[in-house]
Structure formats: C-alpha cells, structure tokens
Amino acid sequence: MNQQSGNGHEIVIRVQNLVTRFDYTVIHDDLNLDVRKGEILGVVGGSGAGKSVLLKIIIGLLKPSSGTVEINGQAQAGLTSDELAAERRRWGVLFQDGALFSALTVAQNIQVPLREHFNLSQNLMDEIAALKISMVGLSPEAGAKYPSDLSGGMRKRAGLARALALDPALLLLDEPTAGLDPIGAADFDRLIVELKEALGLTVFLVTHDLDTLHAVCDRIAVLVDKRVIVVGTIADLLEYNHPWVEEYFKGPRARAANISVA
C-alpha cells in the first residue's frame, strides 16, 4: 500500500536515512527523499554528488550501507526474489546513452524484458516492439537497425522504448539528454512530458541540464553535501539560501535556460 506525505500526496518512492559508503568515501549521509505519484522529479547536484548512485540504489543495482528504500510502500530490502521481480516489472529504466546491447537490433533490445518476464509468441513481441518504437518517435525501419547504426538521439529513444516495454508505472532516467545537441535535447524533453501525461507515469530524472529542469520537472531535489538539502519548484529554489543552489539556479547558465531571476 502506497504511503502518503503529510500534505496528502501519494508517495511512490521513499528514501529514508540513506547512508552510502565505498570503502572510506561517504557518498550519501542521512539522505531523505519522497517522489510523488504522477510527478516528474528532477535530481540535481554537482559532479560526484551521488545522483546516479542514488538511482542505482533505488533500482537495486547497488546496496546502501544503511537506510531504507520503499517503492509503492514496499521496503525493497525485505522482498523475496519473486516479489522483487514482480515489482521490477512495474519500472522502466533508461541509463546514459541507452545502454543497449550492441549485438541486438533495436527491436530485439526492446524484446529483452519481454523475454525475461513473459512467455510470448514472437509475433506478439514483434508487435509490441513496433508499438514502442512508434511511441518514442522512431521510424518503423529503426527496429531492424543495430545501436551502432543509430545517432545519439536515436539510441536514447531506443533505450526509452525498451524502458517502456513492460508498460511501467515508474520511469527512472539517468542523464537522458546528456550528449544531445540543443534541438535533440528539447525534442527529448517534450517526449518525456508527452509520455508522462499519456501513460500516467511517475518519473525520477537525474540530470544536470537546466533546460530539462525548466521544461519538464514538477519539482527538483538538490543533492549537495551528501544529502538532499531542498526539494521544490524552480520558484522555490530561487528563494532558497545556499551557495551551491544560488550559483546553479541564479548563475549565467540559469539565465540562458530562461529561468526567471528577480
């Protein structure tokens, strides 16, 4: 059963008292974060702040030193392997550059999670792959291509199509516009918003791209000094008194991204 925050929002992801250490290096120290159902939450922070590590902990690729991660009200550490597999069918993940299997075509990449979780006919998997390819704005011909045949933007879209293969309710994106030119990044931003609205997704988005934050995020979590120091809209963050936040959201790059600074 999903939890609710104090103001009545349904919580899809809840991270509490998270501590992450690699040998003697502390990445997260008492990190807390809630992700609300139906929102696009952006996570920002400086290089090495632990943004991508946080995403990997949420999806179970890394284990924290202490603390808890709950998804849809379920503590992930307490699930059996079968329960965890069932829970993961409800998530879609897009890693940087798509993380596609180079020896598989785009269609075959999309079919990987279908083969992992279901026993479907090849015809049905081909139909699902074609639907997901269309959904992310790729041409039907892209399905037969290999990742090496694709541009960076096309690989991102192909990776997103695979993330959507199981019709997830939760989508986690790691630097989705990194490496894209401004036009390609803006197109990808619009695609994320359109898919979120059409499919009713909850989106957890790690990024450093101010344009993406401005264009797609309902709220933004700032990861600084090993923890989330503030969560809010851009308007909220413009009023927040912290050196890193002020430099990031009021500096020249912020103005270039059309963030209004008083």
Q: What is the pLDDT along the chain (262 residues), one digit of tens a residue?
A: 456 555 678 999 999 999 999 999 999 999 999 999 999 999 999 888 999 999 999 999 899 999 999 999 989 888 888 888 888 889 999 987 678 999 999 999 999 999 998 999 999 999 999 999 999 999 999 999 999 999 989 999 999 999 999 999 999 999 999 989 999 999 999 999 999 999 999 999 999 899 999 999 999 999 999 999 999 999 999 999 999 999 999 876 665 655 544 4
In-domain check, residue 15: yes
Judge if 26 and 75 occupy the same domain: yes
CB 197, CB 171: distance < 8 Å: no
Q: What is the pTM of this model?
A: 0.91
Judge if 79 and 185 occupy the same domain: yes
Residue 196: CB partners within 8 Å, gap ≥ 6? Answer: 40, 171, 203, 216
Count: domains in the chain: 2
Q: Which runs of E-coded beta strand occur in 210-249?
A: 219-224, 227-232
Judge if 229 and 110 occupy the same domain: no
Strand-pair partners of 219: 41
In-domain check, residue 98: no
Judge if 22 and 152 occupy the same domain: no
Give dist(CA 175, CA 215) in Å, integer. 14
Strand-pair partners of 11: 3, 36
Judge if 192 and 73 occupy the same domain: yes
Give dist(CA 125, CA 55) in Å, integer. 28
Judge if 9 and 121 occupy the same domain: no
In-domain check, residue 95: no
Give dist(CA 261, CA 159) in Å, integer. 35
> Where a domain ends, among 147, 167, 187?
167
**∠ Cα 76 79 83 (to 5°):** 110
pLDDT for 232: 97
pLDDT for 246: 92
Residue 39 C-alpha from the chain's centroid: 12
pLDDT for 7: 63
Judge if 27 and 72 occupy the same domain: yes
In-domain check, residue 97: no
Residue 198: CB partners within 8 Å, gap ≥ 6? Answer: none
pLDDT for 261: 45
Give dist(CA 250, CA 256) in Å, integer. 10
pLDDT for 157: 95
Hey, what amino acid is at 259?
A: I
Domain span at residue 160 reads: 105-167
> Where a domain ends, among 167, 188, 213?
167
Give dist(CA 129, CA 114) in Å, integer. 10
**∠ Cα 255 257 259 (to 5°):** 60
Judge if 2 and 22 occupy the same domain: yes
In-domain check, residue 172: no
Phi, psi of 169 (to 5 degrees): -95, -20
Nearest to 111 by CA among 95, 99, 127: 127
